[in-house]
A and B are shown apart, each in its own frame.
Chain A
Amino acid sequence: MTDKHDKTKASSIVTQEPSSTRLIVSMAVAGFISGIIIIAIYMLTFETIKENKARELREAVFKVLPDVSFMQKLHFIDNKLIVVKAEGMDDEMIFAGYDPQRKFIGYAIQGKGPGFQDTIHVLFGYLSSKQNVVGMEILDSRETPGLGDKIFKDMDFVGEFSNLPISKDIKAVKKGKKTQENEIDAITGATISSKAVVRIINKAFNKWSPRLPQQGSEPVLEKQDNQ
């Protein structure tokens, strides 16, 4: 019965050419409904996505700076680092980390640069007192799964950034060829990605180190309501 029903409908479509108005109207209606659905899902998920991103960033700061229990965001404007509390993040911002006694420990600096496939977004912890990198976390990357993504999955590689002098530029060398203190072993099969991470860190460090205040005059931790 359904077959017969379908057939009559099909033949009526073939014999009757729909008017152009009808074609335009059906496209417009479909586009309109689709637009409403897309905007609705965007608005529904917007808050969660923003929160996820903010939480990821916060967790990353605590990961790259060991023993930190407070942090605040610093914004570099007019040749000065000032404390900001607003949400959001841009390239001119870094984080300062403080211990439970509210004493300054170090900075978490972010850097972006081209990787093997797309931009890699790196966050690393820096102890100005020792001039050491103390932790590295990849915030965003599209490196080849199974190879390039070892820059954040291979714990040996990530671990190399846990105590790394950066007074001279860091260098990535072939695995096992490491001789200098400021060299790290690149990942086998992901040399380009490893070198990209190192290059991004060097670039970000060279950009930020002249901007950081003298030792002892780091910004004080300001009172925060929700910590």
Chain B
Amino acid sequence: MATDSSAYEEMIKGLWRDNPVFVQVLGMCPMLAVTNSAINAVVMGLATFFVLVGSSFLVSSFKQWIPKQVRISLYIIIIATFVTVVDYSLLALLPAIHKELGAFIPLIVANCMILGRQEAFASKHNVKYAVMDAVGMSGGFMIALFALGSVREILGVGAFFGIDLFGTNFESWVIMILPPGGFLTLGLLLLFFNWFTERRREFLLKVAESDRMAYVDGDK
């Protein structure tokens, strides 16, 4: 039971507390490049999910056979293999989506979040934790991509998942789908995220304080 809850903990931490984008600020290339629409963000998130979980599983399973001196190149080989598999599978099964994401799928190889998880986590933990960690991290990555993609598509095109939201009178903010819009939105989301975390910490402190006071009062 105890191990289960800590495995769950490994998964949950990637979603919020150690979110790869909002807290660790990793994987910025796909983050800014493909998030000009919600659907692109979701597919990029799914592709990253597959690559990260697969690589973490393999790296963790073979960690005693991976010599430290050549580990980075071995991680890259493993990651690149998964990325190629995703690239060809998408091209064969979902050609329309592949057309949209085109150049960015091969670039998953260079997503520092994935290599970072291998180096910092999968190579030091057993398979179960490594996979849970990978699921959580890619989940958190997907949430961040989706948040950015939705904001940029809604403001930049006036649509959500391609469905028109505001009718013809809406003048779309063209800058939001261009690269500067990505930086702006990411900055604002980071601001919001940190503000929220700060508020939550203060709130928890306050609750703890009042609990203590109540306890002291009750003691009297």
Beyond A13-B67, A34-B81, A146-B36, 14 additional contacts (C-beta under 8 Å) are: A6-B126, A13-B64, A13-B68, A30-B78, A34-B77, A38-B81, A44-B88, A45-B91, A48-B92, A49-B92, A144-B177, A144-B178, A146-B174, A189-B174
6 contacts between A and B (CB under 8 A): A13-B64, A34-B77, A34-B78, A49-B92, A52-B92, A142-B102
Q: Is the CB of B70 within 8 A of A147?
A: no
A37–B126 Cα gap in the complex (Å)?
24
Asked if A91 CB lies within 8 Å of chain B CBs, one says: no
Q: Give 1 or 0 for each of A143-176: 1 = CB within 8 Å of chain B CB.
A: 0111100000000000000000000000000000
* A56 CB-CB contact with B under 8 Å: yes
Contact call A146/B177, Cβ cutoff below 8 A: yes
A45–B69 Cα distance when bound, in Å, is: 35
The interface residues of chain A lying within 8 Å CB-to-CB of B23 are: none
A196 to B38: give the CA distance in the assembly, Å.
Answer: 27
A-chain residues with CB within 8 Å of residue B99 when the two chains form the complex: 140
A38 to B85 CA separation, bound complex (whole angstroms)? 7
Min CB distance, B184 to chain A, in Å?
15
**A145 — which chain B residues lie within 8 A by C-beta?**
36-37, 40, 100, 177
**Pairwise interchain contact A142-B88, C-beta atoms closer than 8 A:** no
B53 at the interface (CB under 8 A from A): no
Which segment, of A19-27, A82-90, A100-108, faces chain B?
A19-27
Known A45-B89, A144-B177, A146-B157; contact A2-B80, beta-carbon cutoff 8 A? no
Could you say which interface size class chain B belongs to?
Answer: 35 or more
Which residue of chain B is the closest to A14 with respect to CB atoms? B68
Given contacts A26-B74, A52-B95, A145-B37, contact A34 B80 (CB under 8 A): yes
Q: Say whether, besides A13-B68, A56-B95, A147 and B174 are in contact (CB < 8 Å).
A: yes
Within 8 A of A (CB), among B82-103: 84-85, 88-89, 91-93, 95, 99-100, 102-103
Identify which of A2, A13, A30, A41 contacts B77 (C-beta below 8 A). Answer: A30
Across-interface contacts of A48 in B (CB, < 8 A): 92-93
Interface residues of B (CB under 8 A from A): 36-37, 40, 64-70, 73-74, 77-78, 80-81, 84-85, 88-89, 91-93, 95, 99-100, 102-103, 124-126, 153, 156-157, 174, 177-178
Which residues does A use to contact B, with CB under 8 Å? Answer: 2, 6, 9-10, 13, 18, 22-23, 26-27, 30-31, 34, 37-38, 41-42, 44-45, 48-49, 52, 56, 140, 142, 144-147, 189
Interface pair B67/A23, CB less than 8 Å apart: yes
Task: Please name all residues of chain A whose beta carbon is closer than 8 Å to the beta carbon of B84 when the two chains form the complex.
Answer: 37-38, 41
A18 touches B126 (CB 8 A): no
CB distance from B196 to the nearest CB of A (A): 28
> Which residues from chain B contact A44 at a C-beta distance below 8 Å?
88, 92
**B92 touching A37 by the CB < 8 A rule?**
no
Q: Please pick, from B36, B69, B80, B126, the residue contacting A23 in the complex, using a CB distance under 8 A.
A: B69
Tell me which of B67, B80, B126, B178 contacts A147 (CB under 8 A): B178
Question: Complex: how many Å from CA A18 to CA B84?
Answer: 30
Q: In the complex, what distance in Å separates the CA atom of A9 from the CA atom of B174? A: 55
A43 nearest CB across to chain B (Å): 10
CB contacts (< 8 Å) of B66 on chain A: these are: 26
Residues of A near B95 (CB, < 8 A) are 49, 52, 56
Given contacts A37-B85, A146-B157, contact A30 B91 (CB under 8 A): no
CA A23 to CA B124, docked complex, whole Å = 19
Q: How far is the CB of B155 from chain A (nearest CB, A)?
A: 11
